[in-house]
């Protein structure tokens, strides 16, 4: 489909600033190494409109991390059989199915069995949190969410890798009935659509987000598993023009019943009642809130090295 190409292309353009000189080489990744050379392996999950292996985004980040941490084993998740499917699945494949596919991929990888760190970009952030909550084996050690939407979105002002036609189509679907079974099943973004004016509908019908955020019942397994993380790092982009509300990147959201005022994670019922174990994690110093002064997923190599790399070393 043409839009997937356009989306991937635009995403690349957005990330171009990351290139600090030097050409981008379309080369195969290094030969498989037996170990991770003493470092903890890393699993990456890309964002909407992107894929595992785009040489200007995930491919670039993978390469950069491999340069900074010699010998590290990095897996950039591909959902589907090829890059095109991977990109399309980021829009149209049931998120719960994506999460369970990833769980089995990780469980089958012999080099991850000692544990791994995880880094999710945009929606990949909340998807990897679901992996932590549902699939404790192999163990995830540190989870870094880069611009993830942990309380969902109530607006998609701009798609990353924007094709306005596609964005308009998604917005129309979301507005026409984000919580209808059909839209829920087939539109990824509907599965983390969080309408504060229709809280009942959200709680009842959101197939993915309401489940992992314990909106219907408290699943003690989720709570226990999430607390197994050594660290949960949340990155918020201060000039984000894609995610609405941007507070969601730090697990905050709009107060229920209106669409203007926001509340922080610490002010939310989720935290106060500690339905997910986040208050306990906060008290134990496991939650790290970082900010980046840029638009969605826009950061420099220097920023990445200074702020995120220490969590991987
Ligand atoms: C966006 O995608 C649609 C559908 O694939 C296509 O018809 C349109 O030309 C694209 N828009 C731009 C600006 O490339
Ligand atoms: C393993 O790590 C050491 C120290 O970080 C580094 O010097 C060496 O090149 C690495 N080995 C491989 C195979 O990357
Ligand atoms: C709680 O989560 C676990 C792990 O995903 C799942 O196996 C179990 O069925 C869930 N329990 C309930 C009551 O939803």
For each of the domains in the chain, give its residue range(s) and CATH number, in order of start. 2-311 (3.40.50.1820)
Helix (H) or strand (E) holding 289: strand 287-292
Distance, CA 5 to ligand 1 centroid (Å)?
10
Higher-pLDDT residue of 63, 175: 63
Which backbone phi and psi does 142 adopt, to 5 degrees?
-120, 135
Question: What's residue 175's pLDDT?
Answer: 80
CA distance 311 to 123: 20
162 falls in which pLDDT band (50, 70, 90)?
A: low
The average pLDDT across 43-48 equals 96
Between the two ends of the chain, the Cα-to-Cα distance in Å is: 39
Q: Is 39 a catalytic residue?
A: no
For 203, residues 6+ apart whose C-beta sits below 8 A from its C-beta are 210, 215, 216
Q: Whose alpha carbon is nearest atom 11 of ligand 3?
A: 219
Question: What's residue 161's pLDDT?
Answer: 62
For residue range 181-210, what is the model confidence (pLDDT) as tens digits? 889 988 999 999 999 999 999 999 999 999
Which backbone phi and psi does 135 adopt, to 5 degrees?
-130, 85
Query: Is residue 167 scored above 80 in pLDDT?
Result: no
Predicted TM-score of the model (pTM):
0.86
Query: Is residue 9 scored above 90 in pLDDT?
Result: no
Question: What's residue 160's pLDDT?
Answer: 67
Which backbone phi and psi does 223 adopt, to 5 degrees?
-65, -45
Which residues have C-beta atoms less than 6 Å from ligand 2? Answer: 37, 70-71
């Amino acid at each position: 489909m043409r839009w997937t190409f356009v989306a991937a292309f635009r995403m690349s353009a957005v990330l171009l600033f990351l290139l600090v000189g030097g050409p981008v080489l379309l080369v195969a990744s290094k030969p498989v190494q037996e170990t991770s050379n003493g470092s903890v392996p890393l699993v990456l999950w890309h964002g909407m409109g992107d894929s595992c292996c785009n040489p200007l985004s995930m491919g670039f980040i993978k390469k950069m991390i491999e340069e900074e941490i010699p010998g590290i084993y990095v897996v950039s998740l591909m959902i589907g059989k090829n890059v095109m499917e991977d990109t399309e699945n980021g829009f149209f494949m049931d998120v719960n199915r994506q999460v369970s596919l990833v769980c089995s991929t990780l469980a089958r990888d012999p080099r991850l069995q000692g544990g791994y760190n995880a880094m999710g970009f945009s929606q990949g952030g909340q998807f990897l949190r679901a992996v932590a909550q549902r699939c404790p084996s192999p163990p995830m050690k540190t989870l870094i969410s880069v611009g993830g939407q942990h309380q969902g979105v109530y607006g998609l002002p701009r798609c990353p890798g924007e094709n306005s036609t596609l964005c308009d189509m998604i917005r129309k679907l979301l507005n026409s009935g984000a919580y209808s079974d059909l839209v829920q099943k087939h539109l990824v973004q509907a599965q983390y659509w969080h309408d504060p004016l229709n809280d009942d509908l959200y709680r009842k019908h959101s197939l993915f987000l309401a489940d992992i955020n314990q909106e219907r019942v408290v699943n003690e397994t989720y709570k226990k598993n999430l607390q197994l993380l050594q660290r949960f790092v949340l990155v918020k982009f201060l000039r984000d023009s894609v995610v609405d509300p941007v507070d969601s990147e730090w697990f905050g959201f709009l107060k229920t019943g209106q669409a203007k005022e926001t509340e922080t994670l610490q002010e939310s019922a989720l935290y106060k009642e500690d339905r997910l174990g986040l208050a306990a994690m906060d008290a134990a110093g496991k939650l790290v809130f970082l900010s980046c002064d840029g638009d969605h997923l826009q950061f420099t190599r220097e920023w990445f090295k200074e702020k995120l790399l220490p969590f991987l070393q």
